[in-house]
Amino acid sequence: MSERNVRVAGEIQRILSDLVRELKDPRKPQMLSITGVKVTKDLSVATVYYSVYGGAEDKDKARTVLDSSAGFLRRELGKRLRLRKVPELRLLLDETIERGFAMDALIDRVIFADEKNRASRESRTADPETADGTDN
């Protein structure tokens, strides 16, 4: 992306983050945030990534709220952004945080299993004299 596209994407993210925080829809999950924005070269389309802390129900609610308020968000974005044409908004759920938590859990399980195996091996090889049952 060009430097201009990066600046525009950052500004769109900042503005949309403020707007989403101000949405008054009672269905909106408390932990809804805009995590990133990518714009096309011609600035005609902005892909907006959002994240929701919660379960599948919260994600569905967030999708519904954002879809129903997309027109409002684009109109307000046009008022605050100084561009000739306001980009079309494409809203996508960003699941990188959940994937990160899942990866952390997998790593923790592997570390736990490795430590358990190491402890088991060490206990078997720690005292060879008592392992054969003879006293010297």
32 in a domain, yes or no? Answer: yes
Same domain, 52 and 105: no
Q: Can you give the CATH number for the domain in which 31 is found?
A: 3.30.300.20
Same domain, 103 and 76: no
Same domain, 31 and 45: yes
Q: Cβ(25)–Cβ(68) under 8 Å?
A: yes
| CA neighbor of 46 nearest in space, from 85, 19, 20 | 85
Same domain, 104 and 75: no
> Does residue 131 register a pLDDT over 90?
no
Per DSSP bridges, beta strands 45-52 and 32-39 are antiparallel
In angstroms, the Cα distances linking 23 to 32, 43, 85 are 11, 25, 24
Same domain, 26 and 61: yes
List residues bridging with 89 in a β-sheet.
46
| Maximum Cα–Cα distance across the chain | 91
Same domain, 73 and 121: no
The pLDDT-based confidence of 133 (bands split at 50, 70, 90) is low
CB neighbour class for 116 (10 Å; exposed up to 12, middle 13-18, buried from 19): exposed
Same domain, 58 and 86: yes
136 in a domain, yes or no? Answer: no
Domain interval for residue 45: 3-94
Same domain, 34 and 89: yes
Same domain, 24 and 59: yes
Mean pLDDT of 7-17: 94
Query: Whole-number mean pLDDT of the chain?
Result: 87
36 phi and psi angles, rounded to 5 deg: -175, 160
Say what the pLDDT of residue 35 is: 93
Q: What is the pTM of this model?
A: 0.72
Helix intervals (H) in the chain: 3-22, 56-68, 70-80, 96-125, 128-131
133 in a domain, yes or no? Answer: no
Same domain, 7 and 68: yes
| CA neighbor of 16 nearest in space, from 62, 76, 71 | 76
Domain total of the chain: 2
